[in-house]
Amino acid sequence: MKKNKYPIVWSKKNFSIKIFCSIPNIATGILVKADKAHFVVDPGDGILRDLNKELKINDILNISDVFITHGHHDHVGGVWSLLTYLRVMNKETPLVVHYPKGCLEIVHIHNAFNRVYSGNITYDIILKEIDGDRQFNSKKVTIIPFPVVHKEYLSDKKTTRQVPALGYKFIYDNIKICYGGDTAYCDDLVKHAKNSDLAILEAGHDDDTPDDMHMTLSEAKSIGKSAKEYYLVHVPE
């Protein structure tokens, strides 16, 4: 398969998504814009460089929400620098960080940040742990989180365990964008991708035999075809 050329940009009316990159084991970085609202999804390494290339400083300072699919380094590697940058640049509006219940990476990055900068943080950071699939709204966008199947190897390199992991569906002005995060083929993703205006699907498994970490190319494509449009991301380079 041809390598993705990043960034990938998609928009409909006032709703847009820009995938700066999604490279397995290296970094992910996604920006969602709904009219004047700006959300960051999975801020991996390089997110400050990409945001600064894309947005004026005031728009960066007004980012209201961060959505984390799971705690792997290629999805959260830029969280520390984003929090710190916003402090240094004097952000004043709150930042809500949504993350799956049990994602210790986010809890501990946040704890460390509070300890290091205690009393000297210019904005409120609100951690919103997501447990289940209840939908909620932010800035006129409806967000539907859904559980996905994403395992990782323990240190013996044989045993696997499920990591806290979510996909998100963003709905604005009746336009639906479904992002599965890292996931194996699973019913919740099938359900939410179907009839979406855009599905962003990982195809991180470069073998034809399905596993419970990532999707094969054919699995991802079969889900993609149920959406109006789709992009495959997180494809091994």
Beta bridge partners of 29: 21
214 CB burial (10 A radius; 0-12, 13-18, 19+): buried
Closer to Zn ion by CB, 37 or 77: give it: 77
Closer to Zn ion by CB, 72 or 98: give it: 72
The least distance separating Zn ion from the CB of residue 143, rounded to whole angstroms, comes to 20
Sheet containing strand 65-67, strands side by side: 8-12, 15-23, 27-34, 37-41, 65-67, 95-100, 125-130
The least distance separating Zn ion from the CB of residue 53, rounded to whole angstroms, comes to 25
Closer to Zn ion by CB, 182 or 219: give it: 182
Closer to Zn ion by CB, 177 or 184: give it: 184
In angstroms, the CA 26 to CA 50 distance is 15
The least distance separating Zn ion from the CB of residue 90, rounded to whole angstroms, comes to 33
Beta bridge partners of 67: 41, 98
Residues making contact with Zn ion (CB under 5 A): 72, 182
The least distance separating Zn ion from the CB of residue 227, rounded to whole angstroms, comes to 22
In angstroms, the CA 112 to CA 180 distance is 29
